[in-house]
């Protein structure tokens, strides 16, 4: 059955790039509603669909959604990953600014809020998007690909010159709460040189060593170091789940990312939906529904942070 939250859950913080304070509330919604954002600081045309075709093509630093009137909300990937990873199908996200709060740079605060209020089952079946044919997109040496699978897998490979990152590979079956256990606490990351360049261009104004992992060669500058030795690739997988959630329904597919990012994952979804023969919508039976991300998530699955 489809789900929504049992009650609203509220978050407040600053935007990673703007540095501006922002308040956000995730509200329950009815069956078949999907996920929508509503800008409460905008008087009209304030609704923005959390869908692949609302994403701004080519956006690389974060995922940005825009409606037909040009009203935008950005950095949506962490809350979208939390909703998908907790198995939430329907929600209205009210936000009083143009950027989702970065909080600690991961999805864990969102996950904690969602699990704390709990989920309510709705009288409607869950539909999933079953990928039938391989779909692949490339940009330079970056690759994103979808292959048929009976459940969602995420494979990811990254490679950086910085010794503290280096080469990292990870594969996860996203069924049965693995997002909450394995990925949700992994923080966004960047290199010190990137921080300097972004701030010179008026970006990352809300970034701190407390809400991002900053690497400088062989050094990790953030206090306390890493939450996982491979936190960087885990965060890229977190981002991928959030960006794939813009498909509008759970995916039955194997996603593979090689140096892929937000823009390439959205390009992959666009390529998929441009091929009606490459996918089909299916009503999930009990066995299929049991393999979706978020099913069976418990409070004890949330990682305990030092």
Q: Shortest CA distance to 64 belongs to which of 269, 19, 56?
A: 56
| pLDDT tens-digit readout, 187-205 | 999 888 777 777 777 766 6
Pairing status of strand 251-258 against strand 142-148: antiparallel
Gap between the Cα atoms of 3 and 28, Å rounded:
9
Q: What is the CATH number of domain 3-297?
A: 3.30.1700.10
| pLDDT tens-digit readout, 30-43 | 999 999 999 999 99
Residue range 15-40: average pLDDT? 95
Q: What is the pTM of this model?
A: 0.95
Say whether 262 is catalytic. Answer: yes
DSSP 259: S
| pLDDT tens-digit readout, 48-62 | 999 999 999 988 889
Burial class (CB in 10 A: 0-12, 13-18, 19+), 254: buried
Where along the chain do its domains lie?
3-297
Active-site pick, 17, 78, 235, 262 = 262
């Amino acid at each position: 059955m489809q789900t929504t939250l049992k009650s609203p859950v509220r978050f407040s913080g600053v935007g990673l790039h703007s540095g501006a304070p922002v308040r956000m509330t995730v509200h329950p919604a009815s069956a078949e509603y999907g996920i929508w954002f509503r800008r409460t600081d905008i008087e009209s045309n304030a609704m923005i669909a959390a869908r692949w075709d609302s994403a701004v093509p080519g956006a690389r630093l974060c995922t940005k959604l825009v409606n037909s009137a040009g009203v935008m909300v950005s950095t949506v990937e962490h809350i979208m990953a939390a909703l998908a990873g907790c198995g939430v199908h329907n929600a209205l996200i009210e936000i009083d600014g143009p950027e989702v709060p970065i909080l600690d740079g991961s999805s864990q605060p969102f996950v904690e809020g969602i699990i704390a209020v709990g989920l309510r089952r709705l009288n409607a079946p869950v539909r999933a998007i079953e990928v039938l044919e391989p779909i692949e997109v490339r940009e330079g040496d970056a690759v994103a690909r979808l292959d048929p699978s009976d459940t969602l897998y995420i494979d990811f490979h990254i490679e950086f010159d910085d010794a503290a990152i280096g080469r990292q590979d990870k594969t996860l079956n996203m069924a049965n709460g693995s997002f909450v256990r394995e990925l949700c606490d992994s923080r966004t990351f960047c290199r010190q040189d990137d921080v300097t360049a972004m701030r010179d261009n008026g970006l990352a104004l809300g970034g701190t060593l407390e809400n991002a992992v900053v690497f400088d060669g062989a050094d990790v500058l953030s206090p306390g170091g890493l939450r996982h030795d491979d936190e960087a690739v885990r965060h890229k997988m977190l981002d991928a789940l959030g960006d794939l959630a813009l498909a509008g329904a759970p995916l039955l597919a194997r996603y593979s990312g090689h140096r892929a990012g937000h823009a390439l994952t959205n390009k992959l979804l666009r390529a998929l939906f441009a091929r009606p023969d490459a996918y089909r919508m299916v009503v999930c039976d009990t066995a299929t529904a049991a393999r979706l991300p978020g099913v069976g998530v418990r409070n004890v699955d949330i990682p305990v942070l030092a």
